[in-house]
Structure 1
Amino acid sequence: MLRSLVLKSVLAVMAPLAALAACVAPQQTDVLVVDASAIFDGRDVIRDARLVVREGRVEAVGPQSEIAAPAGAEILDYGDRFLMPGMIASHSHVGTVSGTEHGGRFYSRETVERDLAQFQRYGVVAVNALGLNRPLFHELRKELRGPGHDGADLFGAGAGVGAVDGAPPMDRMGVMPDQAMRPATPEEARAAVRETAEAGVDIIKIWVDPMGGQVPKMPEAIYAAAISEAHAQGLRAAAHIHDLEDAKGVIRAGVDIVGHGVRDAPVDQELIALMLEQDVWYVPTINIDEANYIYAEHPEWLEDPFFLAALSPELEAQLRDEAWRQRALDGAGSARMAVMNNLRNLQRLHAAGVKVALGTDSGATALRIPGFAEHRELELLVLAGMTPTEALAAATANGAALMGLSDRGQLAPGFVADFLVLEADPTVDIRATRSLAEVWRGGYRVDQ
């Protein structure tokens, strides 16, 4: 009974957010004009703003005083609301969680579509599923993007290239044999990348992480071969790392994206110079460690409809369990240290001019919650010294640039009209992204 009442309350409060999938009927005209108090276009904020959308793409954006409404256009006046591009998740996973469990055995069309729907409900319009995908991914990647499907667009790396007997660890992550290719030689690494590219991917993922000395680490010759072959196939390469020296190693080998923050030591000038010289992206994924304890630390979040709506019944029950919360807090020491190191390193790298995009590792485990994690990561980026506008750029224009999406992540002429309507201004308080009222995809409002 209690759960029924809670769910009714959540649904009432979350009605604008719970825009699941189906788009409302097309507008009466092919041209839509949206006025709002402000628009963040992916780079800058425009006040007293106007957005013109024609046939699903942005035709114009700017001050209302400078842009006339086209004749016959449908005009929506959002008053003091705020518009921003839909968010891009640069490092997430899909399809591998069921309740409080995770693993490749759960990967299916149903679970992938479930996760993409939840991402979209929380304003994420494109997801880079960075590894741990099963062969079904290559089919879904073709289907689950663009008009006609009910969720965030699916991009990603296929299975990814892991280490023999190493990361990603099969036991800890429940990894199935087809979720990571594990070449033993440089020649096998090149073959693995070619096979992955032929199957259809957007990026190549490699794991270079000894997991605190618990597993063998991929040798330099193998990851260098994988990165080189990715470039030969016209693909970018992203590396899962944890340690400073491994970050330097993959960058020297030519990697394009450092897919997690450095957490074992302070970053040094050598790393900064390498990243700037080679124009490498940095995706800190602070959530990956914070998720281990933050919900236990904040049981009051369970009274927040925005958070509660992201939880499965099983996960909600776990988070309400006092014994589970105590165990999580008791074992949080190393995760807290990793978060502090990650925040400090991000602050230094960002201040030096290293390119940053938002990613969270959401979807890899039950505690890394699709959608909610992205909003929490925005707060953490600001905590690390980024301005709210810079954090929003990391989640929009920068994410699209990292993924090579030339018509996403900005509200600019010619770009796909994916945008969010917020009740408050996140450039004043980054938590205002949680005031999500509407999600628009390709010029159409997503409805429940």
Structure 2
Amino acid sequence: MKHIPDKRANRLAALLSAAAFGLYASGSAADGEQGSTAARLTAFENVRLVTATNLGTIESATLLLDGNSILQVGAGIAVPAGARRIDAQGKTIVPAFIDTHAHTNQSRESLLRDLRRLAVFGVGTVASLGVDTSDAAFDVRDQPVDGAARILTAGRGITAPEVGRETAPIWITSPEEGRDAVRDNVTRGVDLIKIWVDDRNDRYPKLDSPLYSAVIAEAHASNRQVTAHVFELSDAKGLLRAGVDAFAHGIRDRDIDDEFMQLLAQNPVVLNPNLPARGVATDYQWLAPLVAATEIEKLEQASNRDADARAFFDLQARNLLRMHRHGTLIVLGTDTSFDFPGGDKPWSVHEEMADMVAAGMSPLDVILAATRNAAEFLQLADRGTLAPGMSADFVVLEGNPLDDITNTRTIAAVYLRGKPVDRAELP
């Protein structure tokens, strides 16, 4: 990896769950500063911690919070008197999930709705890739809102002209226009640069090598990473030669070959595979507490068995697995598109994680892709793991996702910056 510096919930059920999982005071705080300090402390005890660090998974452990950050992690921790204590016996805590690839709405009101919906499903941070024409994402990034995921933004992505398709990205036809587009985004304060290299089934001109090479060089000169929407193997090879930092999709037209792997060895990238539907009938009843029955029925009807879809999935699964075994940093990204009809699926992280396991990755590797690896790629030093000093962003699960990745869906509670997210109703 190249490092560039710099809907309907049942309210009663929810309340009963909160009571069963609630905080209770233990001991009495001393007067003065000691009491004040203890009042900030919260301890989750007797819990399984998937730390996403070299400590691995810790059984019968304690997670001790000091306000909005993690103070201690491990077994045998002495909880100070006066701290609030939660007995999480039988539960598993994992870091909050990080979605490195989504497209959010542009008005502040709609954006906050997106981010609150994501938080309900355990997402603590999301990267909006390339359709941010307003300042809302920048404003909310700089002033996060309680109960909502945090956001990073690539501003307006860069592509060749796609007349009649999408006007949010910046269209370029020359290297200089590409450099200008990067400068414009950097002036806005973007976190990374997004490009599209795809002719959309021969419907539009493709961003070619001179254009994307200029964009990548200018971005690196401005200390920004470049993530590329890619489809064809030939384009992926060219992007590797140009020094791209990440693929926002896997290669989708054919199996990757030895030449690609040689280029990958010379120019490591981060991969967000963003796997397609598996072409199998799927049970969505796990969404029932939060999603209307009519919407669940639509989802299940759209997931019928499809041989062509299965073949498309299998191709990308093979490519993912080959890159994963090579040592490529794999991150989670869903391409969830809140701003497009039918794209409003804040639970997509759970589908994507299950798809990655179906592709051949282990549940642990998938959890790492959704937490530590994603934070590393997005250069977020304060989240992605359960470790002292990290932001208290985590998900409490009823089941162990290392036994079954679909246990990421058994959410008992979500905490962001040390505060519980209200999951009683999906915004």
TM-score interval (norm. to shorter): 0.7 to 0.9
- Asked whether 1:111 is paired with 2:110, we answer yes
Deviation at 1:114, TM superposition (A): 1.5
Deviation at 1:212, TM superposition (A): 2.5
Instruction: Normalising by structure 2, report the TM-score.
Output: 0.85
Instruction: Normalising by structure 1, report the TM-score.
Output: 0.81
Residue by residue, what CA displacement relative to the aligned partner does 1:129-181 show, whole Å, maximum 9, x if unpaired?
A: 111222x1x34323246654431111121110011237xxx43xxx2x3x110
* Equivalent pair of 2:9/2:290 in contact (CA under 8 Å): no
* Equivalent pair of 2:46/2:87 in contact (CA under 8 Å): yes
**Structure 2: where are the runs of 5+ without partners?**
1-6, 19-35
> For 1:350 and 1:290, how far apart are their aligned partners in 2?
20
SS of structure 2 residue aligned to 1:420:
strand
**Aligned mate of 2:227, from 215, 222, 238:** 238
| Number of the residue aligned with 1:132 | 131
**Aligned mate of 1:281, from 259, 270, 290:** 270
- Asked whether 1:36 is paired with 2:39, we answer no
| Number of the residue aligned with 1:211 | 200
Deviation at 1:58, TM superposition (A): 1.2
**Aligned mate of 1:82, from 69, 77, 92:** 92
**Aligned mate of 2:349, from 374, 382, 391:** 374
Which runs of structure 2 are paired with 1:8-407 in the superposition (5 Å)? 29-43=39-53, 44-63=56-75, 65=76, 67-95=77-105, 107-134=106-133, 136=134, 138-144=135-141, 147-165=144-162, 170-171=164-165, 175=166, 177=167, 179-286=168-275, 289-290=276-277, 297-298=281-282, 300-301=283-284, 304-306=285-287, 309-310=290-291, 318-319=298-299, 325=302, 334-363=308-337, 365-407=340-382
* Equivalent pair of 2:240/2:263 in contact (CA under 8 Å): yes
> For 2:15 and 2:377, how far apart are their aligned partners in 1?
32
Shift in CA distance, 148/60, structure 1 to aligned 2, threshold 3 Å: same
> For 1:159 and 1:247, how far apart are their aligned partners in 2?
22
SS of structure 1 residue aligned to 2:89:
coil
> For 2:188 and 2:157, how far apart are their aligned partners in 1?
12
Shift in CA distance, 37/149, structure 1 to aligned 2, threshold 3 Å: closer
Shift in CA distance, 187/14, structure 1 to aligned 2, threshold 3 Å: farther
* Equivalent pair of 1:90/1:127 in contact (CA under 8 Å): yes
SS of structure 1 residue aligned to 2:336:
coil
* Equivalent pair of 2:147/2:416 in contact (CA under 8 Å): no
Between Structure 1 and Structure 2, which shows a larger proportion of helix residues? 1
> For 2:236 and 2:17, how far apart are their aligned partners in 1?
38
| Number of the residue aligned with 2:419 | 444
Q: Which residue type is aligned with residue 132 of structure 1?
A: V
* Equivalent pair of 2:63/2:74 in contact (CA under 8 Å): yes
Moved more, 219-228 or 69-78: 69-78
Residue by residue, what CA displacement relative to the aligned partner does 1:321-348 show, whole Å, maximum 9, x if unpaired?
A: x6xx5xx869x56543321211111111
Q: Which residue type is aligned with residue 335 of structure 2?
A: D
> For 1:54 and 1:162, how far apart are their aligned partners in 2?
45
> For 1:146 and 1:58, how far apart are their aligned partners in 2?
21
> For 2:16 and 2:411, how far apart are their aligned partners in 1?
7
**Structure 1: where are the runs of 5+ without partners?**
1-6, 19-25, 96-106
Q: Which residue type is aligned with residue 268 of structure 1?
A: D
Q: Which residue type is aligned with residue 306 of structure 1?
A: L
* Equivalent pair of 1:272/1:354 in contact (CA under 8 Å): no
Identity of aligned residues (%): 32
Deviation at 1:92, TM superposition (A): 1.1
Deviation at 1:111, TM superposition (A): 2.1
* Equivalent pair of 2:137/2:152 in contact (CA under 8 Å): no
SS of structure 2 residue aligned to 1:255:
coil
Q: Which residue type is aligned with residue 232 of structure 1?
A: A
Shift in CA distance, 17/204, structure 1 to aligned 2, threshold 3 Å: farther
* Equivalent pair of 1:183/1:189 in contact (CA under 8 Å): yes
Q: Which residue type is aligned with residue 47 of structure 2?
A: S
Shift in CA distance, 269/81, structure 1 to aligned 2, threshold 3 Å: same
> For 1:312 and 1:225, how far apart are their aligned partners in 2?
49
Q: Which residue type is aligned with residue 175 of structure 2?
A: P
SS of structure 2 residue aligned to 1:341:
helix
- C-alpha RMSD of the superposition: 2.7
SS of structure 2 residue aligned to 1:290:
coil
